[in-house]
Amino acid sequence: MIGVSPEYFYEATAGKGHKPWVSVIIPALNEEEPIADVVFAIPRNIIDEIIVVDNGSTDRTAERARAAGARVVHEPRRGYGRACRAGMRAVWPQSEVLIFLDGDGSDCPEMMPRLLAPILDGSYDFVIGSRTRGRRETGSMNLSQLLAGWAAGSILRLLYRVRFTDMCPFRAIRREVLEKLGMREETYGWNLEMQIRAARAEVRILEVPVDHRRRAGGKSKVSGTVTGTIRAGTRILFTLLRVVWPGKGG
């Protein structure tokens, strides 16, 4: 399914004298059911550290993540972007590549080699997974998510000539590149802001198909309720206008 052997990562970096340090960041809010399985599924032979950011959970998310082998950091101020930024601050100084994925079990950690390979061989700086181009389990994405990805992708293609088909949270990026993007978003618009700023900065971007499943447990904060869907959609639209529209602080 993946088509990239673990040995590739060492072959791709042999001329550089070292394998880049790779950190995984998982923002999590009340994900005690799936979080341990998500951490266990991450391929340890290509990953150097796993950070779970407990974003104000009221259940045993932190306890189960720690027991599964992750390093847990806390960001009590809720907000997807805040959690991702807390994870960035927490990675070890030697970390060169960051991988983001959700803690609900919907992303497929075993596909990390597909995201990492183009970065480690020097071809790209930012690789984003596309759920719409991969194999999706029935019910894993609702219509609003599909439409939002299509709409955002269409706008960015017109503005920056970059092709995106999704705003998938499963992505890998060089740390130094992400730090230069000047990310500001604190909530649901984080993923879209990263894509906009990367496109505008002419970062070397690649989109690859990834498989996607229904969440393994708990309830979605975005698509689980009508209110959550509206709140997330509004924030994503605001992010698009703020970052793209001239004079809006982007």
pLDDT in tens, 18-64: 689 999 999 999 999 999 999 999 999 999 999 999 999 999 999 99
pLDDT band at residue 218 using 50, 70 and 90 as cut-offs: low
Which segment of 153-157, 166-170, 232-236 scores lowest on mean pLDDT?
Answer: 232-236
The whole model's pTM is what? Answer: 0.85
Contacts of 71 (CB under 8 A, 6+ apart): 49, 50, 51, 52, 90
C-beta of residue 124 within 8 angstroms of C-beta of residue 206: yes
**pLDDT, tens digit, 9 for 90 and up, residues 85-124:** 999 999 999 999 999 999 999 999 999 999 999 999 999 9
Q: Distance between CA 236 and CA 229 in Å, rounded?
A: 11
Q: Is the pLDDT of residue 15 over 80?
A: no
CATH topology of domain 7-244: Spore Coat Polysaccharide Biosynthesis Protein SpsA; Chain A (3.90.550)
Confidence label for 151 from pLDDT (cuts 50, 70 and 90)? confident
Count Cβ atoms within 10 A of the Cβ of residue 158 and give its class: 0-12 exposed, 13-18 middle, 19 or more buried: exposed
Residue 213 confidence class, pLDDT cut points 50, 70, 90: very high
Name the more confident of 232 and 5: 232
For the record, the structure tokens of 234 come out as 């509004």
pLDDT of 232 reads 57
pLDDT of residue 135: 94
Q: Does the pLDDT of residue 248 top 90, yes or no?
A: no
Supply 199's token pair.
């496109």
The percent of residues above 70 in pLDDT, for the chain, comes to 80
Question: What does the pLDDT average to over 135-148?
Answer: 85
